[in-house]
Structure formats: C-alpha cells, structure tokens
Structure 1
C-alpha cells in the first residue's frame, strides 16, 4: 500500500511559485476530442510546453512552422509508462493513425523525427483547410489561378472525409497495435526490436496508474531542480549578458538538471566514477560567473572536442577550482 505523506497547506500566493504544464481545457470539453484518452491529452500538453524551447532555438522550417523534438524516451520518462503504451499514445495523436494533433517528419540517419504540434483550435473538419492549404491558396491567388484545391489535399495528405474517419477510429487505438517501428532512430531504442508479445506482458491498470504517478513525480522533481539551477546561476542575467550564447546556456541548464536529478549512484566524470550526491552538490554551487567562465573556455578552446557532453560536464564540475587560476593567468599575460 502506498504510504500517505503529510504535505503542508498553501498560504496566500504560494501556489504562484511553481510552473505548471498546461493542457488545453477544450481537449476535455470539445466533442471532437472525446475519443482521445486522458493520457494522450497529457502527452499533447507536454509537447505544447516543449514548443517554448523550439522558439528559443529557432526550430522552424522554411514556411515558419515550428517543430519540436520529443522522442519516445522523453515520453517514457515524463509519462512513467511502458514502451507499448507510449507508442499507442503517439499513435492516438498522430496524423497517420490518430486524430492528427501531431505530424511526425522522419529525418533518417539515426536522427530523431521532427514533430509538428498542430493547432487544436483549427482543424480541417471545421475550417475545411489546413495551414499548408492556406499557404497554397495564397500562392495561387497571387498568380491569378484557382487550381490549387487539388494541390491542397495532395500536400496535406488527408481530405476532410479522411480526417473525420481518423477521428472516429481514434477511440479504437487502445485495441490496435500501431505500425510504428521500435528501432532505427533516436525515437525508438534498438534494444526493443522484438515486441511481438507486448500485449501479453502489458502491466495491469493498477500498476500502470502507480507507474504514471511515479513518472509525474519524477517530472515534478526534475522541473523543481531546473528552477533551482536557474535561480542559482541567475539565468535571466546570463541571457542579457550573453545574448549570442542563448542555446549554449540552455544546453548547460539541461545537462546540469539531468545530472543533478539523476538517480544513479555514481556519475562517470573525468575518467572516474564520482558519487552522484557529490556531483549534485558541486553543480548546485555554481553561480553566474562560473557559467560565463565555462562559456569563455569553450569559445577559446582550439582542441577538437569529441564528446561535448562529457567535456562540458567536466568543465562545470571543476569550474569552482579552476576559475581563479584561469583569470589570474590572464591578468599576468596582460601585464607582461
């Protein structure tokens, strides 16, 4: 039986100190989405949240459409479910077998798929056209011809009838085995290539519920860790002082969060295994000046870096020890 914890009450404006994942209310009130499972709606909310990272990194295609990277491994960690369920949740949202709230574009060569998160406020069944169709119509009207209607449906790959049909089938997705591969890219790990008996080994609903709760708890802990790290390093100040390094700063925050919230007993660092609590304590001691120091060292380094993650983690871990020696050496060189 799960242990009951003694949580404290909220007082005054304490609830505003947290960040929350936002799931659109319309997904629960609009009849169009009644066929979607609650977990698929949560996954869609997580993908909506991921778009803020895409905006910071400028991940847009030639038509200014935003895309995200959200792998199966991300879903497993955040949703706390088994791989079979995660695949079915992707399929529920997918434009091929599901309702069409996401569209996956494979890149090949082991790269993760680009995922376009579709606008839930507009769909073809209501407006009669997609964003791609609107772009095509505008282009045709400028040329003075109105032959773009057939082109619209060929570009989008789904007619209005097909969208409606896909939605009607979405309620049956839990009983289907989606034709999405389990290997060959970063979205699906190679270690699970054979899943022919997946339905036989599926955990029961009670176990799945507690797995989901554990996954949500892990996601909450990770989010709180990221907030703590951002405060420690004065994240907003870093951006203002280093506007050209915005992507690198986000990568540093992501790496620090991952390592500091890891449940591993040790972290392999600098060719040795260091206890995770020791690494966590060091990372949480870093401040704005340490991050700027690491950024400067990376920009000035002429050596070829083969494993940027290991290099960056090592630099962050040793930053409090080496920062003063580095700037002292620079001062001596400027005085000579």
Structure 2
C-alpha cells in the first residue's frame, strides 16, 4: 500500500490519542510497558467522554467503563494481554483504579491524575531552579508591555465570577499545586517556542497559561464557559488534552477576530476550551478550500 506525503497543515485534520510524555521521562514508569502506556492514553481519551456525560460518582470523581473486549478491539490483542495491561496500570504504577460492580456488570475504572503523584517530585525539583521564571510569569500582566493587539482586545474585566478576587485559583498561586500545574503546562504547551513565534503577544500567551492553571486549581464545581456553566471536571479533562498547536490555533483566531471583545478573559477561556473540538474541523475546511481553489493542485 502506498501512502502520500503530508502537505502544509494537512496533518492537523486528524484526531490522535495522546500519551503523556512523563510516562516515558519519569523514572517511576520505567517498568511499565509501552502497550500499557498506550492503553493509558486511550483511557484518558475515553475519560473526556465520560466527563461530558456526567459519569461522576458521589464524590465528583470521573469514572469510565472500558471492557476487556473494548481493549482487545482497540489494541488488537488477546484477552490475556488486555488483562495484563490493566494489571500493569493498576498494580505497577497506580495510574488506574478498578471498582467492581458485581452481578456480571463491568468494572468501573478511575483514571488517576498522573500530575498529582509521580510528577510532583519532578516539579518540586524544578521549582528551585526555575523559581525566577515562575515568579516572573505568574505576576499580573503588565499593561505597559507592548504588543500588536488592537486596544479593543485588552479590556481586562475582572467583574465576572470566574476570575474575580474570590476565585479559588488566585489564592492557590503561592501553593505547590499552582506551581506544579504551571510548570507542567509551560512544558506541555511549549510556551518557550510559542513566545518566540508570538513575540509581540507574550502578554496574551501568559494570560492563556494562567487561565488554564487557575482552572486546574479551582475548587469550584462549575466553570462559566461562553455563558454556560460546565462541570469543572469536564473543563479540566479538556484542558489536559491541550498542546501547543491548540494554543497557536487560539492565538491565530484571536488575532483574526475583528469584533469587539468586552471580556478578554472569558473570550480566551471559551476559545481554549473549544480549541480541541474545533481545530480539526477548521483545518479540514481549510484543506477542502485549498483543494477547491487549486492551491493543492497536482498533488493528488
């Protein structure tokens, strides 16, 4: 079978399973097989669907149902291996927890937050070396900093309930949790490279990063997204899927916008939340447009 090359941004039209890099870089995961790490990425993807469907237990924890047959189908493996991979994730590294329902019902699977445990040591070690970076980047954004954004986009309105002074995320800026999430997303989103590409808009990039981290640290049950109150676990699950291309997409759409933005924080929060669900459709439409206009002529 012969496959063609990728041209331009065509690779962005697909969806992917995302396996956290820390599973390959942290020493505590060295004895976990690659297949088990891949399964964890698949379970993370399924967790987002569960959160959207309000599959929460009485403590507000998201659970999924992913049967042995589904694992066999997803990985193309035998039942014995599917069971072994689940055992690896639960017993070797504690990345999942299974709860029996009995009466022939499938187990509930709790996918554990890999940041709160194994990566904590890495973040704490980095904090001392990178403390100057963290302290500078989490400060209030300077209004004097130059950028190429129209003034109508820089009206920072703190009157909304999400980022008002009583928002729990603000109180957590000096905590280890805030620093850990900040370091994680700073690396996960390749902020250094984004700041190089958007040199005149570092202020907006910093605001985007803070919005993400404060959402992850929030102890509220719901977060306002585009006039709609969404369960915080759904928003967090979506944010864990973010990568640098999603932020680049948000920045490009933000700079293209010609309408007045009254509340830039709420505008960006909605854009960040929607990015994983709209980026594929956007680039797919762009590819179809380029093909129709002849820009991709002769390549197919």
* TM-score of the aligned structures, taking structure 2 as reference length: 0.39
Instruction: Answer with 1 or 2: which has the greater Rg.
Output: 1
Higher relative contact order structure (alpha carbons within 8 Å, sequence separation ≥ 6)? 2
* TM-score of the aligned structures, taking structure 1 as reference length: 0.35
